[in-house]
Amino acid sequence: MAETTAPTVLPRGFRGAQEGWPELHRIPRPPYRVPLAGDVIGSSKDTPVQDSMRLARRLGPIFRRNAFGKEFVLVAGADLAADLADEARFAKHVGLGVANLRQLAGDGLFTAYNHEPNWQLAHDVLAPGFSREAMAGYHTMMLAVAERLTGHWDRAAGAGRAVDVPGDMTKLTLETIARTGFGHDFGSFERSRPHPFVTAMIGTLDYAQRLNAVPAPLAPLLLRRAGRRNAADIGRLHRIVDEVVRIRRADGGGEGDLLDRMLDTAHPDSGERLSPENVRRQVITFLIAGHETTSGALSFALHFLSLNPGVADRARAEVDRVWGGSAAPGYEQVAKLRYVRRVLDESLRLWPTAPAYAREARADTVLAGEHPMRRGAWTMVLTPMLHRDPAVWGPDPERFDPDRFDAPAVRSRPPHTYKPFGTGARACIGRQFALHEATLVLGLLLRRYELRPDPGYRLRVTERLTLMPEGLRLRPERRPAPAPAPAGPSAD
Ligand code: HEM
């Protein structure tokens, strides 16, 4: 059943599972369905992902939910997710939360429909901005931003104060993408409150999530005030990115970063360039996609490190061994932090900060040989449950164990079982950027501080399409500087 069809245009708007899944009745659903409202019992508009995780535990590897007549299918099992990774039969589906972001980002890279020509154009123009060479060029700027963070944490450590981890990681990752990609400084570390870009972004992400929790025809009425705030947030985001572009144009160009590519680079084959409207959409897309999820990934990793001193000690020993006393680790020295990277991988396993991705059938097909789907029918992979499937991750998938990502363990697992960055042609373009940045920052923080948890803290996960550990605070304590590295090749 591997017929490939050209990605012809499918109808837009919400496509209910009733239309596309002829044997929907075989897919389990929650037992108590409220007329009109749907599966609302025990669910909250604020925690759709965590509610779905609870349902997956009860209902199994594939199940459906209904919210105000919108019926959709979720996949939590590894076999099903692996089948959905078959690019010949399935493609990205722009639906639910992602579709709600089109008001903001239109046919920007993340929110574009597969058939929109600007996806391929922007992908081809921007992909070289993530080559190894480009990444090596960002490294020094990443280090400079990380120093702003350690300056801030040194002051907290000196005063015995706790730090606001998600707040600080958001400052760090926003400044990093803004400076490396756009030559722009938002001055986040000089501000006592989040930059208006962050506040407006959180507003729009939150609104996009809330739109799913009300009947579509009633949204303008039920979310009237929130809709007005959302329009204001979008206006603010547009004004901020227009200013970033205006400054660049006034400067007559930058140093070949992402913004230069967006403004000046023609497609290598067609010679086509991004239109000004599309540039605005890409700048918003990259400023948001380029920092929000990395901030969450770093925050969760720091949470797990603070709770697992044995893991933190091992990671720290690796940093001391590989980096020695070098004040500024080089680009190549970051990839050598294999264990620190495993800490990050394992954090993204338990809490993948972009917690779902949707796939649609390119042609009539049968999912995993069991569930017929018509062309255009779609489902959502619930990544945190894919990452907890006991058939892949063993009987205790909740246990935090970075050794799940050592090379033999990774080789022993079937493909397509770990998907924090999505899958296929529409997978994350910024994956290497995020992993380099986050490994570098974890290395720097581990080397410099002991991370003491707040004894009263219990993990609460906030959802705004992305995931974040709410209210996480840690108490950093300065460590003595490590001795200079011994000469000769490192063991790792
Ligand atoms: C830990 C950090 C990150 C995570 C967990 C993450 C996750 C994801 C996921 C799951 C997707 C696919 C979404 C879908 O299929 O609907 C995606 C796409 C995307 N990501 Fe990331 N991402 C991260 C960091 C970044 C960074 C640093 C950038 C940019 C610098 C970025 C830019 C994008 C873009 C532009 C897309 C859309 C790609 C396309 O459709 O062609 N992401 N990301």
b or e along 433-465 (b: 16 or more beta carbons within 10 Å of the residue's beta carbon)?
bbbbbbbbbbbbbbbbbbbebeeebeeebbbbb
In a domain, 210, yes or no: yes
Evaluate if pTM is beyond 0.75: yes
In a domain, 4, yes or no: no
- Of 341, 336, 342, 332, nearest to 491 (Cα)? 336
Among the residue ranges 10-24, 285-299, 406-420, 450-464, the one predicted with the least confidence is 10-24
- Interval 285-325: pLDDT, tens: 999 999 999 999 999 999 999 999 999 999 999 999 999 98
The whole-number pLDDT of residue 2 equals 32
Q: Closest residue (by CA) to atom 19 of ligand 1?
A: 428
Half-sphere exposure of 215 (CA within 13 A, CB side): 9
Q: Is 108 in the pocket of ligand 1 (CB under 6 A)?
A: no
- Which residues participate in catalysis according to the annotation? 293, 421, 428
- E strand spans, 321-465: 356-361, 365-367, 371-373, 378-382, 449-453, 461-464
**Ligand 1 centre distance from Cα of residue 382 (Å):** 16
Task: Give the CATH number of the domain where residue 266 resides.
Answer: 1.10.630.10
In a domain, 324, yes or no: yes
- Of 195, 389, 403, nearest to 295 (Cα)? 195
Query: Per the structure, how many domains does the chain have?
Result: 1
Its domain, for residue 318, covers: 17-478
Res 13 pLDDT > 90: no
In a domain, 7, yes or no: no
In a domain, 197, yes or no: yes
In a domain, 486, yes or no: no
The whole-number pLDDT of residue 6 equals 34
**Ligand 1 centre distance from Cα of residue 6 (Å):** 24
Measured CA to CA, the distance from residue 83 to residue 143 in angstroms comes to 40
The whole-number pLDDT of residue 282 equals 95
Measured CA to CA, the distance from residue 57 to residue 336 in angstroms comes to 37
Tell how strand 365-367 and strand 371-373 pair up.
antiparallel
Is 249 annotated as belonging to a binding site? no
In a domain, 90, yes or no: yes
Q: Is 230 in the pocket of ligand 1 (CB under 6 A)?
A: no
Q: Which of the 8 DSSP states describes residue 479?
A: P
Between 480 and 427, name the one with better pLDDT: 427
465's tokens: 């399409």
- Interval 33-74: pLDDT, tens: 888 778 887 788 899 999 999 999 999 999 999 988 889 999
Res 487 pLDDT > 70: no
Q: Which atom of ligand 1 is nearest to the CA of 122?
A: 41
Please report which confidence band the pLDDT of residue 11 belongs to, taking 50, 70 and 90 as the band edges: very low
In a domain, 8, yes or no: no
